[in-house]
Amino acid sequence: MDLFSIWHLLVILAVVILLFGTSKVRNIGSDLGGAIKNFRNAMKEESAKGEEEDAAQPAANTGRVIEGQARAADGPKAKSAAHTRKG
């Protein structure tokens, strides 16, 4: 037997309606829906605000020059020599 069958849920719904009345249950539903709608709107505004800030800031790595030459012959010996060299 399932813990939450349709009959269990209907009995719980009937008890809630009897205890609180239909107007309070309706108000709770509309308040919950309004809260979810406001949350979604706030998330959309925040993401749009973040995108505007990202577009306004220049890239951090522009104009940076790295000197050196990469070779395929660089193997473990070259790496160990680079670690022992200080400077």
Residue 85's pLDDT is what? 55
Angle at 75 between CA 70 and CA 78, to 5 degrees: 80
CA distance 41 to 58: 28
Q: 3-48, pLDDT tens digit by residue?
A: 778 899 899 989 988 998 888 888 988 999 999 999 999 999 988 8
CA nearest 25: which of 38, 10, 13, 39? 13
Are 16 and 25 contacting, i.e. CB atoms less than 8 angstroms apart? Answer: yes
Residue 82's pLDDT is what? 53
Residue 34's pLDDT is what? 94
User: Model-level pTM greater than 0.75?
Assistant: no
